[in-house]
Amino acid sequence: MPEIKKINHIAVAVNDIEEALPFWQEALGLKLDHTENVPSQKASVAFLPVGESEIELVQPTSPDTGTAKFLAERGPGMHHLCFEVDDIEGMLAQLKAKGVRLINETPLDLEGRRMAFVHPKSTGGVLVELYQFI
Amino acid sequence: MPEIKKINHIAVAVNDIEEALPFWQEALGLKLDHTENVPSQKASVAFLPVGESEIELVQPTSPDTGTAKFLAERGPGMHHLCFEVDDIEGMLAQLKAKGVRLINETPLDLEGRRMAFVHPKSTGGVLVELYQFI
């Protein structure tokens, strides 16, 4: 049985990372691990570890992304929740068997990990991402 | 310096816990620890541990709560993010010193823990809760 190991990250959609960072970094005191440009997501992302998880501040670099549309429609805020799983293909098969709608029916291969999104229509409004590190 | 130890929970606003549970419990395979009525929050809450954190499904039991208003305005989805801190009074003082707007200027005492909410106007749209276990 595929298993969820932990929350990998909570992604927060932001209009501007430099404007968003002071709350997380200076006021809450989280450490900024690094900021990077992620071309596959058309976004700049700031990574702030907290316990075994991370807060990711996601600033879209193109208006044709889901995050950019989310910002335009709802404003900044929590965008998605990412779980780390031990077997992403097994988890996608299990979700499908339960009638859950997937955004990615097969995992996307990124550097060092495989990922897929589950459609919020099937989760009760939460955009859920799954990661498996390889 | 007060410190954030981990994500305590992600609260997901739901219209009906029984309708929401199958995705989290059966499709994703998370274990339901328990469901309880929380009169102080006017809500029923289902607790599903994941790693060192929890997913909390929150169903309001009264229309005059923040969660009920959130559901009416935005529909179900991620409602707030709760961090566990080692010193909640110190953290609230630090946030205030940085100009962050607080919903609770002093912690509320609940059974076994103290808690306070930070205003989403100061966080970039994320309703942030702080817990300290005592």
B40: pLDDT strictly greater than 90: no
Interchain pair B81, A14: CB under 8 A = no
Mean pLDDT split into 10-residue runs, chain A, 134 residues: 97 98 98 94 96 98 96 97 98 98 95 95 97 96
Cα B70 to Cα A14, A121, B23, B63, B76, distances in angstroms: 20, 17, 21, 10, 8
pLDDT at position B17 is 98
In DSSP terms, A130 is beta-bridged to A83, A116
A3-22 per-position pLDDT tens digit: 999 999 999 999 999 999 99
| DSSP sequence for B45-88 | EEEEEETTEEEEEEEESSTTSHHHHHHHHH-SEEEEEEEEES-H
Distance CA B71, CA A15 (A): 24
Average pLDDT across chain A, whole number: 97
Question: Would the ipTM clear 0.90, i.e. be above it?
Answer: yes
Alpha helices in A44-124, H assignment, sequence order: 66-74, 88-97
Average pLDDT across chain B, whole number: 97
pLDDT at position B14 is 98
Identify which of B5, B26, B126 has the shortest CB distance to residue A12. B126
B9-39 per-position pLDDT tens digit: 999 999 999 999 999 999 999 999 999 999 8
Flag whether residue B123 sits within 8 Å of chain A, measured between CB atoms.
yes
Structure tokens at A20: 């968003």
Segments forming the whole domain that contains residue A60: 4-133
pLDDT at position B41 is 86
CATH number at residue A127: 3.10.180.10
Flag whether residue B20 sits within 8 Å of chain A, measured between CB atoms.
yes
Q: Name every chain A residue with its beta carbon within 8 A of the beta carbon of B59.
A: none
User: What percent of chain A shows pLDDT beyond 70?
Assistant: 100
pLDDT at position A41 is 86
Identify which of A77, A83, A125 has the shortest CB distance to residue B50. A83
Q: Which residue has the tokens 């990574």?
A: A47
- Per-residue HEC secondary structure of B28-49 comes to CCCCCCEEEEEHHHCEEEEEEE
Scanning B59-88 for CB atoms below 8 A from A yields: 74-78, 81, 83
Flag whether residue A100 sits within 8 Å of chain B, measured between CB atoms.
yes
pLDDT at position B112 is 92
pLDDT at position B120 is 97
pLDDT at position A40 is 82
Distance CA B52, CA B54 (A): 7
pLDDT at position A56 is 98
pLDDT at position B36 is 96
Total structural domains within chain A: 1
User: Region B93-105: what's the mean pLDDT?
Assistant: 97
